[in-house]
Amino acid sequence: MKRTFVLLLRGLAAAAVFGGLVHVVLVAAHVSEPAATTLYGPTLRRIWATSAVALALVGVVIGRLAQTRPAGRFGTSSGRLGVNVALSAGLIAVVNGVVNLAIATGGPGTGNGVVGSAAAVVLGLFAMALGVLALARVAGQRMTG
């Protein structure tokens, strides 16, 4: 019971930090004001932002797997390959998120995908950080073993 409660609190704290970081990115990009009229449904820029978020999420998952699993196993999450996938996916997501935010003409609700782009920037940075930590781990294993 106590472990479940701690995990729930960790999840809520992570969601709050993620939401705060997305808001900070939106404010920094000067697109934090909501639209006067809201567009519903998928637009080209929303699809672009969603694909960047999905790529960033893949980078986070692979980066975490590369960080926790031994480097001797085969698969996409082991050793150098996992590090390279995490770093590449994170970088591509960050670049796409920044470009989409740079060309956005309005804030949330305009159909420009600014919320997804901000989320892609945050998750992409997380993926790159996990990739760097996994790279340090892999390099440390090569030096000792």
Using an 8 Å Cβ cutoff, are 91 and 128 in contact? yes
Whether 12 has a pLDDT exceeding 60, the answer reads yes
Query: Containing domain of residue 124, as a range?
Result: 2-144
Whether 2 has a pLDDT exceeding 70, the answer reads yes
Provide the domain count of the chain. 1
Max mean pLDDT among 1-15, 46-60, 79-93 falls in: 46-60
Span of 2-6, 7-11, 102-106, 138-142 with lowest mean pLDDT: 138-142
Which residues, at least 6 apart from 75, have a Cβ–Cβ distance to it below 8 Å?
Answer: 82
Please name the residue ranges forming H helices in 1-145: 2-28, 44-68, 79-103, 114-144
Per-residue pLDDT band at 75 (split at 50, 70, 90)? low
**pTM for the full predicted model:** 0.83
Q: Is 41 left (phi over 0), alpha (psi -120 to 50) or beta?
A: left
